[in-house]
Amino acid sequence: MVKQKIAIAIDKALLDLIDVKVDSVFPSRSQAIEHFLRKGLQEELLKTAVLLLKGEHQEYSLKKIKGESLIESQISFLKGYDIKDIHIVTQKSKYFLTFMDEVEKVKKKEHLNIYVHEKDVKGNAQALFAIKQWLTENFIAMSADLQMQFNLRSMIKKHLDFGKPATIGLMMRDKPAQFGNAILDGDFVVDFIEKPKQVKSYAVNAGIYVFSPKIFSYIKKAASLEKDVFPKLAKARQLIGYFVKGKYRHMEE
């Protein structure tokens, strides 16, 4: 990599913080500054999230939890991690107009860019592929029938550090047969089985993911992330696991 010498002015207090890392972590100021600059720029790139919502599950999105709808809770959670653009992929249902009214209310309250894409697709992989043109940088994707609170920034960091096409949120469950089972080798998911007849692992899919645009080369002809994409990624050691620790509620449970 070609490096270029430049002269810059940096706030003294900020430079003192950088110098704390020199010697103990980095061999020089320039390497420390380069590390933190790259880290900041990488995190700045992740400003987009996708909510994958089946039409028949719009009813769950409208359910009130401590005075706010599930969709409002999800959008508030994402906003807390500096997400600016939220895309909701869904289908028409008897709840669609009520759902759209709720989205408009939340949009005005949170001052975010929220886009609803009505796509007649079969499977969540197709739902992502249908809005590929909007997803040109790293992005979050999550099932829209979940309520969760955890350190999303930590998950994003792990995804950026490994640089693989996908990072999957995982959790431990006593009865894992009703979830996708993940078998790990360190940080790598090396096998993934959706709702197996015979339990393979107690580490299961939590329904939230971080993807890079490289994911689209795996989902072009796929219907389901869980059945078609994650097993393929796992076998190629291209799927990273991240354990979600915090509040979690699946609205179907």
Angle at 10 between CA 8 and CA 13, to 5 degrees: 165
Cα of first residue to Cα of last residue in the chain, in angstroms, is 51
pLDDT of residue 155: 96
What's the confidence (pLDDT) of residue 176?
80
Residue 2: per-residue pLDDT: 62
Note the pLDDT of residue 38. Answer: 65
pLDDT of residue 200: 80
What three-state secondary structure class fits 53? Answer: coil
- The pLDDT assigned to 19 comes to 82
pLDDT confidence of residue 247: 86
The model's pTM is: 0.82
Contacts with 62 (C-beta within 8 Å, 6 or more apart), sequence order: 69, 70, 71, 95, 98, 99, 102
Distances (CA, A) of 95 to 25, 56, 102: 54, 8, 11
- The per-residue pLDDT for 253 is 58
| pLDDT mean values, one per 10 residues, the chain (253 residues) | 76 80 79 74 77 94 92 95 96 95 95 95 95 96 92 94 96 86 96 88 94 95 95 97 90 66
In this prediction, residue 197 carries a pLDDT of: 84
Report whether 141 contacts 106 (CB < 8 A): no
Q: Helix (H, G, I), strand (E, B), or coil: what is residue 61? A: helix
Look at phi and psi of residue 166 and say left if phi exceeds 0, alpha if psi is from -120 to 50, else beta. beta
* Helices (H), ranges, the chain: 12-21, 29-45, 58-61, 70-79, 96-110, 124-130, 152-162, 216-219, 230-235
| DSSP category for residue 137 | S
* β strands within 177-228, DSSP E: 180-185, 188-194, 203-211
Give the pLDDT score at 66.
86
Domains of the chain: 46-250 (3.90.550.10)
CB 129 within 8 A of CB 228: no
